[in-house]
């Protein structure tokens, strides 16, 4: 496990917003951590993928099938733009949300971004029984996860004020670390 550290570009003009935006790859625990974090901080929890499914009435796999990844990413960027402007939320983004530079800007400007870092092995373990991950619907999920990690990890790290490792950890421990590291006076 990597040492726990802040990542990204720390800025003294970091937003004072109470919003917390969780980024990271699929299987990193964004939804589970987000729910408990929101409860603890007494904020509203919103999962971007669940919100897209609620609004469209269909699952993410269907959107990918009909519109492809570019169509889904457009929907995702629009939903994140809208939701991130609300006050008092914990937002669990999709793993690929960071691919859009405008989305990265919105998240950076409107709240505190936390990268939930996890290994490809942990991702495989956590997603192995999932049927709603269209990017893994292929004969080589490990290869896909490795490719996505290579492409996206630098974006997660650059965007985040705080990076927290989740491999082999209980949700409660991850949430407690996030709260401690986002508290005033912690340098995050």
Euclidean distance between CA atoms 110 and 86, whole angstroms: 9
Predicted local confidence at residue 125, as pLDDT: 78
Question: Which stretch of DSSP H or E encloses residue 99?
Answer: none
Residue 30 in any domain: the answer is yes
Element (H, E) at 73: helix 60-84
Mean pLDDT score of the chain: 86
Residue 24 lies in a domain: yes
pLDDT at position 50:
94
Q: What is the domain count for the chain? A: 1
Comparison of pLDDT for 69 and 44, the residue scoring more? 44
- Decide if 3 is inside a domain: no
Q: Is the pLDDT of residue 87 over 50?
A: yes
At residue 121, the pLDDT reads 85
pLDDT digits (tens, 9 = 90+) for 37-49: 999 999 999 999 9
Query: Tell me: the pLDDT tens digits for 136-148?
Result: 566 677 888 899 8
pLDDT at 129 over 90: no
Q: Does the pLDDT at position 186 exceed 90? A: no
Q: What distance in Å separates the CA atoms of residue 99 and residue 70, rounded to the nearest whole number? A: 11
Q: How confident is the model at residue 4 (pLDDT cuts 50, 70, 90)?
A: very low
Whether the predicted pLDDT of 3 surpasses 50: no
The β-bridge partners of 115 are 23, 163
Q: What is the CATH number of the domain that holds 49?
A: 3.40.50.300
Give mean pLDDT, residues 162-185: 91
Residue 14 located in a structural domain:
no
Residue 101 sits in which domain range? 20-182
pLDDT recorded at residue 124: 76
Q: What is the largest CA-CA distance in the chain?
A: 48
Report if residue 187 sits inside a domain: no
In a domain, 12, yes or no: no
Burial (CB count within 10 angstroms: exposed 0-12, middle 13-18, buried 19+), residue 167: middle
Question: What token pair was written down for 110?
Answer: 């409107």
Compute how many other C-beta atoms are within 10 angstroms of the C-beta atom of residue 52.
20
Does a structural domain hold residue 11?
no
Q: Which tens digit of pLDDT belongs to each residue from 15-59?
A: 456 899 999 998 889 999 999 999 999 999 999 999 999 999 999
In a domain, 9, yes or no: no
């Amino acid at each position: 496990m990597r040492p726990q550290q802040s990542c990204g570009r720390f800025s003294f003009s970091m937003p004072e917003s109470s919003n917390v935006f969780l980024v990271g790859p699929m299987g990193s625990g964004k939804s589970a951590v987000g729910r408990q974090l929101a409860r603890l901080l007494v904020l509203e929890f919103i999962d971007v993928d669940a919100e897209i499914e609620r609004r469209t009435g269909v699952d993410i796999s269907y959107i990918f099938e009909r519109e492809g990844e570019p169509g889904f990413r457009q929907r995702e960027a629009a939903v994140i733009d809208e939701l991130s402007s609300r006050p008092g939320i914990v937002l669990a983004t999709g793993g690929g949300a960071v691919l859009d530079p405008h989305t990265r800007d919105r998240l950076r400007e409107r709240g505190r971004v936390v990268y939930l870092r996890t290994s490809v092995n942990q991702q495989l373990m956590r997603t192995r029984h999932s049927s709603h991950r269209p990017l893994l619907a292929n004969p080589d999920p490990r290869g896909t996860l490795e490719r996505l990690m290579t492409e996206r990890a630098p974006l997660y790290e650059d965007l985040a004020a705080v990076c927290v490792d989740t491999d082999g950890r209980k949700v409660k421990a991850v949430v407690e670390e996030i709260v401690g590291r986002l508290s005033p006076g912690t340098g995050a």
